[in-house]
Amino acid sequence: MGWINMKVLKLDLFQETACYKKPFAMKITETYPLPPYSTINGLIHKILNATEYIPFNISVQGTYESIFNNYQTTYFYKKDSITSMPMNSHMLLNVNLIIHIGGDFDLLEEIYDSLLNYDEHLSLGRKEDLVRINDIRFVEVNKFEVDEDIQLDDYENYKLSECNIRMPIYIPKTSLQDTDIDGISYRLNNYYDNNAVEDKKRVWNKVDSYYVEDGNTISIGDILLDNEGDLLYFNNIN
């Protein structure tokens, strides 16, 4: 049996350009194909004016038109000197994102109101990577059992023979039961606790995930679908 009337917040976002910088990038600034969970967490905490970590669930999926190189000069300040180095940044063009946010409904309503009434420009990735909110709404989510042995899809009883991935998506490895799915492995930053500091550095909670492109088909396991037919996989597995 699936979850009935599980309400989550759904955001349709657009960015003309974006660079979701991978950590430890040196002479070439590489970008993730989608914003990591920490980037979405940062956006939501910013619009809430949060001073400490607020737990909620995030699902990230989306597309981009192409990748291009942005050649620029980066300046480094060392004591009394300034040095420069040419940097090649990988950029995504025309990014469309679908973000699902789940959690306490009062918190979701607060996020909804804050996004609608926020009076500053929003960005995802770098400060200059502005984001446009095309739509924000509440959707209903249900859990379905997927099994290739099911002869006929039965939406009333939440049983499917397969689920086609329609858009590239991050899937936490602990959530993916179908071992035939192909994906790129990432260890994504999720959130950090203000009280968790090691050698004066942030200690990140991380999520081992796959970036799974459209065209893959899930044939076994439990999945979440919203009432608009979009798949979602949450980052925080409780």
pLDDT tens readout for residues 46-80:
999 998 999 999 999 999 999 998 877 777 677 77
Whether 1 is covered by a domain: the verdict is: no
Whether 154 is covered by a domain: the verdict is: yes
pLDDT of residue 194: 64
154 secondary structure, DSSP code: B
CA contacts within 13 A on the Cβ side of 109: 3
Whether 31 is covered by a domain: the verdict is: yes
Whether 202 is covered by a domain: the verdict is: yes
Whether 51 is covered by a domain: the verdict is: yes
Instruction: Say what percent of the chain tops pLDDT 90.
Output: 68
Whether 237 is covered by a domain: the verdict is: no
CA–CA distance, 73 with 175 (Å, rounded to integer): 41
pLDDT tens readout for residues 92-124:
999 999 999 999 999 999 999 999 999 999 999
pLDDT of residue 49: 94
pLDDT of residue 199: 60
CB 144 within 8 A of CB 225: yes
Q: Cβ atoms within 10 A of the Cβ of 174, count?
A: 10
pLDDT tens readout for residues 17-33:
999 999 876 667 899 99
Number of domains in the chain: 1
Q: Looking at residue 80, which CATH number applies to its domain?
A: 3.30.70
**Domain, as residue range, for 103:** 6-232
pLDDT of residue 157: 83
pLDDT tens readout for residues 32-55:
999 999 999 999 999 999 989 999
Whether 238 is covered by a domain: the verdict is: no
How buried is residue 11: exposed, middle or buried, by Cβ count under 10 Å (0-12/13-18/19+)? buried
Q: What residues pair up with 189 in beta bridges, in sequence order?
A: 206
